Amino acid sequence: MSRFIFAAVASIVLSNAAGAQQVPGRDLFDFPLGLLADPAPLSSRMASSLWNPAASKLAPGSRAQFGFAGLTTPKDQGVRLQMIGGSIRVRGGLTTSLSYAQASVADILRTETDPQSLGGEVPYGTSLLSAGAATTRRGVTAGVALRYRWAALDADRSGVFDTDAGLLVDSIARTPIRIAFSTFLMSPSRSKEVASYLAAADVPLMRRDSTLLIRAGYSIARTERRGREEYVFTTTSYRQFDLSAGVAQATAFGNRDRRWRLGLGLRYGGYTAAFGREDGAAGIGASTQFLLTRVIR
């Protein structure tokens, strides 16, 4: 049944692509690739941050970072996302980044007027190439990213250029409150892309030397013509261990659902390995994530 749901979604997207000239596959980037359970605008866990160009800024003392992230859903849905990325510190405090993300759905069967398969699968996937830069001045980090996304849905092939920007502010009015803003897939050709606008803030609840830090906060994301998502979260770092958890509430097309997210990470010798899980909703099974990064100092 889930595959027929995806087939129906694919046909709707194809109709939109023909009528509104949208590039298919945008819905596949609704999955939180590389985030585990972190808020998208604040997360710097994955090298060359996908969701906020400012978050790709390397921490002091780091010369480069490289990483891989993956996300899968149960086999009967067949959704798969992958990303590789890297960030390098260049002259002064400037960080440059490059990433490639790919998303696809397997086993969409070709049908006509009934569920009987006609043989062969309908290809449905999209790829995203991003190049960005970020720098910090007086506690404010700004970043920009130039992107090109191309996609395939059955015989339809198309692509679109995007330009995104983001901000990260370490403290507000001399308080430890952090805030972040970013865009995602905002295209000058507005008829071909559906942009998202993201914002988040968090504050420390407990700090003990450099061994323990607990933060909590709230984020919101609004996607044009689709809906919005609100997320309440907490993140904990204890020595080399990381834990993040939260609950997201999404509202789209008149429907509302809640999903729990959980992420666990281990940092050792410049490497970070982490796993994450998000509950499913609206007929989609729970997704699982894996992330591996390496920092070069």
Q: Could you report the per-residue pLDDT of 203-219, keeping only the tens digit for each?
A: 999 999 889 999 999 99
Average pLDDT for 163-175: 93
The reported pLDDT for the residue numbered 6 is 44
Q: Using pLDDT thresholds of 50, 70 and 90, give the confidence band for residue 8.
A: very low
Distance in angstroms (rounded) separating the CA atoms of residues 120 and 112: 13
Question: CB 11: neighbour CB atoms within 10 A?
Answer: 15
Report helix, strand or coil for 231.
Answer: strand
Contact 32, 52 (CB under 8 A): no
**From 1-10, 79-88, 161-170, 177-186, the region with the lowest mean pLDDT:** 1-10
CA nearest to 132, candidates 119, 118, 120, 147: 147
CA nearest to 34, candidates 15, 47, 17: 47
Q: Is residue 7's pLDDT more than 60? A: no
Distance in angstroms (rounded) separating the CA atoms of residues 157 and 91: 39
Q: 74 — alpha (psi -120 to 50), left (phi > 0) or beta? A: beta
Report the percent of the chain where pLDDT is more than 70: 87
Q: Is residue 5's pLDDT more than 90? A: no
Question: CB 9: neighbour CB atoms within 10 A?
Answer: 14
Average pLDDT for 94-118: 76
Mean pLDDT of the chain: 87
The phi and psi torsions of 294 (rounded to 5 degrees) equal -135, 125
Higher pLDDT, 119 or 191: 191
Q: Is residue 193's pLDDT more than 50? A: yes
The phi and psi torsions of 79 (rounded to 5 degrees) equal -85, 135
Provide the greatest CA pair distance for the chain: 65
Count of domains for the chain:
1
Q: Which residue range(s) make up the domain with 63?
A: 2-296
Q: Is residue 129's pLDDT more than 60? A: yes
Report helix, strand or coil for 26.
Answer: helix
Distance in angstroms (rounded) separating the CA atoms of residues 66 and 295: 7
Distance in angstroms (rounded) separating the CA atoms of residues 282 and 277: 16
CATH of the domain at 274: 2.40.160.40
Q: Is residue 117's pLDDT more than 70? A: no
**From 2-6, 95-99, 279-283, the region with the lowest mean pLDDT:** 2-6
Q: Is residue 87's pLDDT more than 90? A: yes
Higher pLDDT, 254 or 103: 103
Distance in angstroms (rounded) separating the CA atoms of residues 71 and 276: 9
pLDDT tens figures, 233-247: 999 999 999 999 999
Q: What pTM did the predictor assign? A: 0.87
